[in-house]
Amino acid sequence: MASTAVCKKWASPDDWARYRGTITALYLDRAKTLRDVKRIMELEYFFYATEKMYKSKFNKWGVQKNLKHHQVGELLSLQNRRAAEGKASEVFIHGRRVDEARLNSYLNRQPKARRRQIEETIAASAVSASSVSSASASSAASSPSETSTDARQKRPTEGILCRTPSPGPRLARAQSIPKRLESPDSLRLPEECLQIMQTYIGGSDDAHFMWETNPGCPNLVTEWYSQIVIAKNLLVNGLTAQGFSMVSACYERYREMLQLQHPLLVVDTAIAMFKLSAVGMGGRELADGFVSYAAEMAQIVLGACHPLTLLFRRFRRAGWAGLTVYISNLVQYYLRAARIASRFDTELGVLHIYPKLVYYGLVDVEAAKTFYRSALAKLATDPDRTGQGERRRGTQQARCSMAWMHFYDGRCADAVAVVEGVIFDAREGEVDPLVEIDCCQLLECIARQRGDYGWAIDMLYRGIPLRDDGDTKAAFRESHRKIARRLPYLESLLRRVGRLEEADVVRKRFDDGWIELCGSAEGLAGRKRLAL
């Protein structure tokens, strides 16, 4: 097929309404930059808009990430007035709660001139409030309607709200001043998570089982993560019944993951949480459900006091606002300990997983590049790796993953050059099929980012191992994970560029293969009927 560039189809009003929750969650809850939000929406949802369009929508929706000095002054003034009346306060801007730690952090970052402006705002507001209060008191008996009008005029603007917090369940009992104040979860949970992880790694290392991979583990972990990706792709592309069937299969398989305790279990669990949260509307609830399930299943399989049970419970308590930071620190510590304890850094599963960690903001791009440089050097010199095929595959995977790092760093030309070195410059038959598919996926992402849908479709076809004889059922039996992960994207892209008949053929291939693979939605969740 010839590669033809197609103009991007900009997001319609219906698209904005559909993905509003996803966009605001990325920007506010996961603290992504506008550039990152734009990139994720393009790659994951085929949603195209300029930064100017995003800013216009944020202004219309009242989405605000950073505090403004006049808002801070108004908030502090409101809190002061309510404190003088003996009222506790919680503050909201455009419906989103602003905690005291965030206000204090903002004030500590401001220069003296800006602090003076805030103080002047507070003073002016206090004077205005006093004058209104005096005027209201003198005229309360004669003109109550005017008093209420003045009060309404003095209410805070720009979506600022200050109200009395709802009483907690222990407030009625705890009337006395506590002997000691507990640290807030935002400070305590990260430290507790690291302590639990240290206990887990230390105990596992002493028992000599954590870093020794069970022979049945690698395939199980790869297949389980593939199911997570398939479920997410199906749900994003509107195949709801199949998507939730695959989610059920993931839940069933997770029990086996806990029993085997593969070294990548913690990392894969974290990535699965973020993958499911990216589904769109309802994605957050889906991810929350998975975290709760992981914590409950860990308690059943491993026991209430097992480190993984304690860790997953804290994931559930952390909330999405701080979860990325918690898990980022945890994952980096975990992988660092793994590299010290074994040759874990050159295992193919770890070589393949770093791009996912970078994508979800759990590992820095430069740190990942350093890891791959070290892994490539070790693969070239490690005397224990006598198998040439294993060494070649590991080297190819590390180079392909390094190309992903260039892509995430905005260096698409460098990424393409590295991929071409892996695929097109290699001799016939020497490129590992899984690595080739990964490279094709990267080229497809670059093509979509450039608006070259023809090239993107070519790369999708190349990365999907369909049989030349057209036997989709047989192809699904041989390579179900690779096909099911990419066919929904291919169909969606074909429809976007107007190749509807071709898209219908792809959809029929998917439906035929899905029936062959699953039998039914109930059969998919049955581990004994499916060797997924």
Which pLDDT score, from 0 to 100, does residue 479 have? 52
Which pLDDT score, from 0 to 100, does residue 53 have? 92
Give the lowest-confidence range in 250-264, 265-279, 460-474: 460-474
Which pLDDT score, from 0 to 100, does residue 242 have? 79
The CA distance from 266 to 331, in Å, is 8
CA distances from 393 to 346, 414, 424 (A): 11, 21, 15
pLDDT tens per residue across span 44-72: 788 889 999 999 998 888 787 776 766 77
Q: Which of 112-126, 311-325, 439-453 has the highest mean pLDDT?
A: 439-453
pLDDT above 80: residue 297: yes
Q: Measure the CA dihedral 321/364/333/182, to 10°.
A: -30
Query: Is residue 299 exposed (0-12), middle (13-18) or buried (19+ Cβ within 10 Å)?
Result: middle
pLDDT above 70: residue 322: no
- DSSP lists the bridge partners of residue 163 as 90
pLDDT above 60: residue 19: yes
How would you classify residue 519: left for phi > 0, otherwise alpha for psi between -120 and 50, otherwise beta? left
Give residue 528's pLDDT band: very low, low, confident or very high (50, 70, 90).
Answer: very low
If one compares 386 and 293, the residue with the highest pLDDT of the two is 293
The values of phi and psi at residue 55, to 5°, are -65, -40
DSSP string of 457-511, one letter each residue: HHHHHHHS---TT--HHHHHHHHHHHHHHHHHHHHHHHHHTT-HHHHHHHHHHHH
The CA distance from 478 to 115, in Å, is 66
CA distances from 233 to 58, 175, 498 (A): 27, 52, 21
CA distances from 248 to 227, 242, 245, 332, 408 (A): 10, 10, 5, 30, 32
CA distances from 523 to 245, 485, 526 (A): 9, 19, 5
Q: What is the percent of the chain where pLDDT is above 90?
A: 2
pLDDT tens per residue across span 228-263: 888 887 888 777 887 888 888 888 888 888 887 776
Q: Write out the two tokens for 161.
A: 């709200």
Q: What is the DSSP letter of 162?
A: E
The CA distance from 86 to 73, in Å, is 20
| Contact call for residues 330 and 193 (beta carbons, < 8 A) | yes
Q: Write out the two tokens for 532.
A: 């997924």
Supply the mean pLDDT for the chain.
71
Give residue 530's pLDDT band: very low, low, confident or very high (50, 70, 90).
Answer: very low
- What three-state secondary structure class fits 91? strand
pLDDT above 70: residue 13: yes
Mean pLDDT of 438-457: 85
Which pLDDT score, from 0 to 100, does residue 54 have? 93
pLDDT above 80: residue 412: yes
- DSSP lists the bridge partners of residue 162 as 91
Which pLDDT score, from 0 to 100, does residue 16 have? 92
pLDDT tens per residue across span 74-106: 777 776 777 766 677 676 666 666 666 666 666
Residue type, position 59, single letter: N
Q: Which of 1-10, 158-167, 247-256, 506-515 has the highest mean pLDDT?
A: 247-256
DSSP string of 377-430, one letter each residue: HHHHH-TT---HHHHHHHHHHHHHHHHHHHHHTT-HHHHHHHHHHHTTTSPTT-
Which pLDDT score, from 0 to 100, does residue 102 have? 66
| Contact call for residues 384 and 298 (beta carbons, < 8 A) | no
pLDDT above 70: residue 180: no
pLDDT tens per residue across span 360-394: 888 888 888 888 888 888 777 765 554 566 777 78
Angle at CA 356, nearest 5°, toward 305 and 268?
25
Mean pLDDT of 143-162: 50
Which pLDDT score, from 0 to 100, does residue 225 have? 78
pLDDT above 50: residue 5: no
Which pLDDT score, from 0 to 100, does residue 522 have? 40
pLDDT above 60: residue 359: yes
